[in-house]
Chain A
Amino acid sequence: MNQGSKGIVGALTLGAVVLFLSLSSAAQEPIKVGMIATLTGPAGFIGSQIKDVAVIVEEMINAAGGVNGRPLNLIIEDDGGDPSRTLLSIQKLVKRDNVVAILGPTLTPTALAVIPFVEQESIPLITITGSRRVVLPPKKWVFKVSLADDLAIGAILGHMSKRGIKKVALLSDSGGFGEAGRQVILNMARSFDIAIVADERFSPADREVTAQLTRIRQTDAQALLAYTAGTPAVIIAKNYRQLGLKLPFYQSHATGTKRFIELAGEAAEGVIFPAVKVLVLEKLSRDDPYRQAVARFVEQHEKKLGPVRSQFGLVGWDSMLLLAEAIGKAGTDRLAIRDYIEAKQNFIGVTGVFSYSPDDHDGLKSVSLTMVKIENGAWVPAD
């Protein structure tokens, strides 16, 4: 072959390769979904777990062929819990990355900060915070796929009421979580025929609460509800044990993490709290409606991230699966995705069953919650 022929063959080969590549990549062009999570800062551990689970779902979906043959590409931004950074993140995701929808953010203030933007840009926002405020009143483009704090509290009060408890001592922290919970508890208690006979507070920075517990001991409370999260929950448990209190001991759903048991040790025994059914899969009955969804979650989680240690990541699972379903059925047009979700009925997630409507973008119809007790360092159903 002379030089000229080699050149022509080379050019044709190159052309064929390029054509082949472009054809195959067009068929596999990824669907871009944005996610804003708080990965750093005090709430970083929450956002990190949500992100880890969302990534499992992305991998799971792509391993099964993607959505309509196209892989999902989850683009993740960290807002550090700062609403102004959340705004910057969402602007980047929408303007630069051109995502079809957005998951997150992690914290209520950060979510509230970006709602005007999504309404203006007409892009679906699947929020995953615990507060219902993000969807009250419903906004056209904003949906919520998560547990609500008041439902978790309702589960606690319901359990107490079933056990015949009528007088409860409340110990809550003066930070955001404790204060919000305290308000809900004070409002809801009456409807469960429960009187709050002690309303003790403490600062999240306090190193011990024996004084508050001693005061509670002098009342005629029949149970103790300690509503807080993180280190204070551990300290309360230790002090409770030190004082030798024997009242039924309830804590908030934030206690649903193995770390609590590790740090509190013996003091964790007997603590009762509302947990998502994911934490007690082996104890669920055969005909529990959530069993299938929960089993699938646990299997994937154990494969990719190890044993399930806390319930924070669950919203990542439900929100990703709902969004993937919407894209699969309605395509990548933002309005079509939004319309699909708004009309979705009976989405069985691992946190609950969701059915949406134009008036209801919260969708939570029932919750995958069960009351759980810590026994011998493990979670068992509380009778």
Chain B
Amino acid sequence: MSPILQYIFSGLTVGAIYGLVAVGFNIMFNSASIMNFAQGQFVVLGGLIMVTLTTKLGIPMIVAFVMTLAAVVLIAAVLERACINPARDGTQVTLIIITIGLAVALEGGATVVWGKEAFTLPPFSGDEPIRLLGATLMPQTLWIMGVTGLMASLLALFLNRTIHGKAVLATAADKAAAELVGIDTRRIVLLTFCISAGLGATAGIVLTPLVLIDSGQGFMFALKGFAAAALGGMGNAPGALAAGFLLGIAEALGAGLLTSAYKDVIALAVLLLSLFIRPAGLLGKTSRG
């Protein structure tokens, strides 16, 4: 049996998670030049709210899924109007600090409601490992990858084929020009914040059956998502997705072939190295308009 293939499969599992978080990161940066460090908290909230709805209240999965998305998007909308919009003319640094503050507050709130213990969800299609070419894969991983692919495609469709999506792209390309043609960029920021929250919540829902969720994980997701987004080129969605997978695989290969003690270091080292060699990221633009 080939250990390398197993490492790659493991990498795909976490990589898909990183990719989905990174895409959410990306769209905020793209349209509003905001690096939203609270992105990880949306992942956590998605998982935790889903757990409460299905396990404590017995609501069927699909309904609970929609309700969870609605809840997280609502929270995001309120936060955007209350905390981000008023600071829209501030500097990037100000906005980053605000999102960090939001991240801390959301984590604290989640801990008050759910405590520090971990929760799980039943896997969507069972718990039996899939054996493929000598390595194993969990069915939930396929769900994570599938959902990630679906979300990314839906996002691309939205951005390229709908009028609102094109407004988002326009704002991302040139905020002033977008305003000149009548786009209300403040509402675009609200829209993208809600979209990225929805992406984060979706990630949280699909990963909880596999790797559990607890209130304290938000920061870690945000960090890995940020690393993937930066690796892929800030502002480049396919890049973020690809970079997420790459990062996950690099981590798994590093832990498997080199040393498991410094797994996190490997991931960050890969990031640093690639930024030295190609500062714009793998597929990024060399300058922002």
Contact = CB atoms under 8 A, between A and B. Distances in A.
Interface string B124-157: 0001010100001010000000000000000000
Contact of A201 (B131, B251, B261): B261
Contact of B255 (A211, A230, A263): A211
A259 interface: yes
Interface in B242-270: 251-253, 255-256, 260-261, 263-264
Of residues A206, A214, A217, A230, which shows the largest number of chain B Cβ atoms within 10 Å of its Cβ?
Answer: A214
B193 interface: no
Contact of B252 (A211, A230, A235, A266): A211
Contact of B212 (A200, A209, A217, A231): A231
A207 interface: yes
Contacts of A265: 127
Interface string B202-240: 000001001110101100100000000000000000000
A208 B10 contact: yes
A101 interface: no
Interface string B176-191: 0000000000000000
Contact of A218 (B3, B127, B129, B138): B3
A207 B14 contact: yes
Interface in A181-213: 200-203, 205-212
Interface residues of B, number: 36
Contacts of B212: 231, 234-235, 263
A242 interface: yes
B7 interface: yes
Given A201-B260, A242-B138, A265-B127, A208 B3 contact: no
Interface stretch (B24-32, B68-76, B115-123, B279-287): B115-123
Interface residues of A, number: 34
Given A45-B116, A242-B136, A263-B118, A207 B260 contact: no
B256 A208 contact: no
A62 to B, nearest CB: 30
B41 interface: no
A42 B207 CA distance: 23
Contacts, number: 86
A174 interface: yes
Contact of A205 (B136, B210, B220): B220
A215 B256 contact: yes
A42 B116 CA distance: 6
Given A203-B264, A208-B10, A214 B3 contact: yes
B3 A210 contact: no
A244 interface: yes
Contacts of A215: 3, 255-256, 260
Contacts of B13: 208
A226 B264 CA distance: 20
Of residues B118, B119, B131, which shows the largest number of chain A Cβ atoms within 10 Å of its Cβ?
Answer: B118
A212 B255 contact: yes
A243 interface: yes
A248 interface: no
B200 to A, nearest CB: 16
Contact of B256 (A211, A241, A259): A211
Given A210-B6, A266-B127, A202 B118 contact: no
Contact of A231 (B10, B17, B118, B253): B118
25 contacts: A42-B216, A45-B115, A201-B261, A202-B263, A205-B217, A208-B13, A210-B6, A210-B7, A211-B251, A211-B252, A211-B260, A212-B255, A212-B256, A214-B3, A214-B10, A214-B256, A215-B255, A230-B118, A234-B118, A234-B120, A235-B211, A242-B129, A242-B138, A259-B117, A263-B119
Given A45-B116, A231-B118, A243-B129, 17 more contacts: A41-B116, A203-B263, A208-B14, A209-B260, A210-B7, A210-B10, A211-B10, A211-B260, A212-B255, A212-B256, A214-B7, A215-B260, A231-B214, A234-B120, A235-B212, A242-B129, A263-B212
Interface of B: 3, 6-7, 9-10, 13-14, 17, 115-120, 127, 129, 131, 136, 138, 207, 210-212, 214, 216-217, 220, 251-253, 255-256, 260-261, 263-264
Interface of A: 41-42, 44-45, 174, 200-203, 205-212, 214-215, 217-218, 230-231, 234-235, 238, 241-244, 259, 263, 265-266
